[in-house]
Structure 1
Amino acid sequence: MSSEKSTLYLHLGLHKTGSNFLQKEVFPNAKGLYFLNKPDWSLISDYTDPTSLARFMASNTGVWDEMGDVFFNRANKEAGRSSSEGGDLLISDEQGPFGWHRNDPQRMAVHLKKIQSVMREQFDELKVLIVIRRQDTWLASAYAEICSKFKQASQGHFERWIKEQISYNKKYFWGRGIRLDYSSLLAEVTRFIPAHNVKMIPYELLKSDPGSFIGEVAKFIEVDTINWQSKTHNRKSLSNSEWKIAPYKERSLWLRPGRLFYKLGIDPKINIPDPFRSKKIEMTPALSRKILSKYKSSNQCLDSKIHVKEYGYVIDE
């Protein structure tokens, strides 16, 4: 192992928080830092999840004892890092701990504890970056991303879907609800990772002041400067309170032969418009208040640590 101190950085989401921008414009331009974006390997054959970090974090923590060295050796190779020479490595995978059946903050925390124990041959220190987003707009953006799967997608369906996501007695601990309890998430992670090694930063800062957001990230990953381009616009967002409803994915026509059209640079899948399908969803003030009321105590606690009140996380009732 190198005599130089090496740090492993993990960027673990959430998704829908500018992850593509970070992975394309920010992390690759952080000089002096090895970077690996969404490792896509088949190290664990029994899982169909698209990324190996997600596979590992969906498994029993014992997977790190069995294959942790394989994971880190592969990560070093893909990133161009030599374990004998050392150097800091950042692995970014916003889906890692937050896919289906991986929404319990305690589960995420114990995986991070295990990672610390098995990385010692490669790294001296673990630091974790988590970008969060206000619960109401995160839910709207998430719905816009997956609504092509819903034949009945509409404002009414959107509101029913939200009720399920944030329900304590139905999907809170097995769906998306618990991952949005950011105070609990931070508390669990810092049980095993020193608080100064955990950076939780609001996505709203990226929206309002990209330079300051990237400055915060750069300071945390200990690089002087990062050259970046202007961030891309969310194509599903129509305004601060409205999002597009995508066409139903089963209502489509495929041009044949598909390979020929792909070679010509033409998408062979043509979505057939449904004249009766809703065009957008809206995060109404009443719906926003309902969501934020569910997380009121959590967000108040969070504000005492990372100051999110200015972005509307904390409401007065």
Structure 2
Amino acid sequence: MKHRCLKSRNRKRTLYLHIGIPKTASTWLQSNVFSKLHHLHYLDCSKNTMFRDIEDLSAKQRSLGNIFSRSIRIWEKFGDTIFEDLIGDQQAWLKNDQDLLISDERIGRQGSRSTLLADHFREMKQKAGDWGFERIHLICMIRRQDHWLASHYAQMSDRNPQAGQEDFKKLIRNITSPYRFRYGFGMLLEYNELYDQLSDAYGDSNLLMLPYEELKQTPAAFLESLLGRLGTPSETIEHILDETSGTKKNVRSEQDVWQLRNKRKRVAGIPLPKWIFTGGEKTIKLMPEYTQQVFECYSAGNRELALKTGLNLEEHGYFGPGSSSKNP
């Protein structure tokens, strides 16, 4: 049953989806920025109670990330149930005049299957209209691929008994190989393809793609761009800028060296306390030849993305070492 007639406001109501892929400061944004926004309704990594298989439970039942890994038919059959699980009673929500912001980096993990992700967004848009949303805006964070891989590897290192420089080198080789991970997990870092799919689903004007590097290098300009897209009142923007000025974000690298996490021992499959760990290498280094390998795969797409979006990706190193936009 449709409820569009219950909407009684003059402005268009918007659903904002922050789908920044992992390792792009999502946790920092959720804690220090999005949680301070009171002009809209904010959901931080919302959980569902609908699905209970092993994958859902291991992902802490995060709503949209788990839903987007399923068939798009789910929106036709359970679309209202999904929205009710997210924001409650439909008629009560329709009487509410707030926009909605959902931030969940698990959504972005589906970027390795960007066609399926875009199809989900199309289906979600159809159902969102019944819940009072006339527009959906996507906010997608990206990060330079070689740095992303090093940061990802370091984060996961406590689960990897082989973690170290040689194993990291192997990951780079596998990610860049068309016969291994390049067209599987490696597609998560194909930002140009992701942009094409998402903009085709919702249109260029409803997609904001921001480099993680801008947050690190020019945080004020980054936050003003992000908060402006969210329709944030100017006084709130000023307050957040004041509060976050000088804040140290979660950075574990220096001079292309990343700290590995302590490897946890297990007995009968049960992890021992964190202070009990194995020895081994403590860091990995992103060697120049690794960076070269990575950008042999991704630089062409990064150049196309820069042309489409106007983002200065060359300044942030997305074109690879020793290259420029004028000399591909």
Relative to the length of structure 1, the TM-score reads 0.87
What residue is the counterpart of 2:77 in the other structure?
66
Of the three residues 275, 278, 294, the one matched with 1:274 is: 278
Q: What secondary structure does 1:311 align onto?
A: coil
The alpha-carbon deviation at position 121 of structure 1 amounts to 1.2
CA distance in 2, matches of 1:110, 1:194: 13
8 Å contact from structure 1 (residues 47, 55) kept in 2: no
Matched residue, 2:286: 283
Write the distance in 1 (CA, Å) between the matches of 2:97 and 2:195.
29
TM-aligned CA deviation for residue 97 of structure 1: 4.1
Q: How far 1:148 sits from its partner (Å)?
A: 1.1
- The aligned residue for residue 167 of structure 1 is 177
What is aligned with 1:197? 206
Instruction: Specify the alignment match of 1:249 in structure 2.
Output: 264
**C-alpha distance in 1 between matches for 2:293 and 2:261:** 25
Asked if 1:112 corresponds to 2:121, the answer is: yes
Q: Distance between the aligned counterparts of 1:84 and 1:21, measured in 2?
A: 32
CA distance in 1, matches of 2:190, 2:286: 19
Q: Show the 5 A alignment for 1:254-265.
A: none
- Which among 165, 168, 171 is matched to residue 155 of structure 1? 165
Which of the residues 249, 254, 261 maps onto 1:239? 254
> What is aligned with 1:264?
none
Q: Does the aligned pair in 2 maintain the 1:36–1:92 contact within 8 Å?
A: yes
Counterpart residue number, 1:40: 47
Select which of 107, 113, 120 maps to 1:96. Answer: 107
Question: Within 5 A, what are the aligned runs for 1:129-140?
Answer: 129-140=139-150
Does 1:308 pair with 2:290?
A: no
Secondary structure of residue in 1 paired with 2:214: helix
Measured after TM superposition, the shift of residue 96 of structure 1 is 1.7
Q: Which residue in 1 is equivalent to 2:302?
A: 299
The answer to which of 289-298 and 45-54 deviates more is: 45-54
**Using the alignment, how far apart are the partners of 2:53 and 2:114 within structure 1?**
24
Secondary structure at the aligned position of 1:48 is classed as helix
Q: Displacement, 1:172? A: 2.2
Look up the SS of the partner of 2:180 in the other structure. Answer: coil
From 3, 11, 21, the equivalent of 1:14 is 21
1:153 is paired with a residue whose SS is coil
| TM-superposed deviation, 1:252 | 8.0
Whether the aligned pair in 2 keeps the contact of 1:64 and 1:118 (CA below 8 Å) is: yes
Aligned-pair CA distance for 1:238? 3.5
Once the two structures are TM-superposed, the CA of residue 284 in structure 1 deviates from its matched residue by 1.7
User: Deviation of residue 14 (structure 1)?
Assistant: 0.8
RMSD (Å) for aligned C-alpha atoms: 2.4
How far residue 70 of structure 1 moved from its aligned partner, in angstroms, is 1.6
What SS is found at the alignment partner of 2:112? coil
Q: Partner of 1:9: helix, strand, or coil?
A: strand
TM-score (norm 2): 0.85
Correspondence for 1:181 among 185, 190, 204:
190
Aligned mates of 2:273, 2:94 — CA distance in 1: 45
List alignment gaps of at least 5 residues for structure 1.
254-267
Distance 2:232 2:302 in 1: 30
SS of equivalent to 1:91: strand
- In the superposition, relative to structure 1, how do residues 116 and 270 fare at CA in structure 2: closer, same or farther (>3 Å)? closer
Give CA-to-partner distance per residue, 1:258-304, whole Å, 9 cap, x none: xxxxxxxxxx81433434x0010011222112212211110110111
Partner Cα separation in structure 2 for residue 43 and residue 232 of structure 1: 37
SS state of the match for residue 200, structure 2? Answer: coil
Identity among equivalent pairs (%): 27
Match of 1:2 in 2: 7
Residue by residue, what CA displacement relative to the aligned partner does 1:64-123 show, whole Å, maximum 9, x if unpaired? 112211221232239xx8322232100010112415xx6211111111111111111111
**In 2, distance between residues paired with 1:9 and 1:213?**
17
Q: 1:36 is paired with a residue of what secondary structure? A: strand
Task: Measure the CA separation in 2 of the matches of 1:148 and 1:44.
Answer: 28
Match of 2:223 in 1: 214
2:141 partner SS: strand
Q: Distance in 1 between matches of 2:274 and 2:199?
A: 48
Structure (1 or 2) with the greater helix fraction: 2
Closer/same/farther in 2, CA of residues 110 and 282 from structure 1, 3 Å limit: same
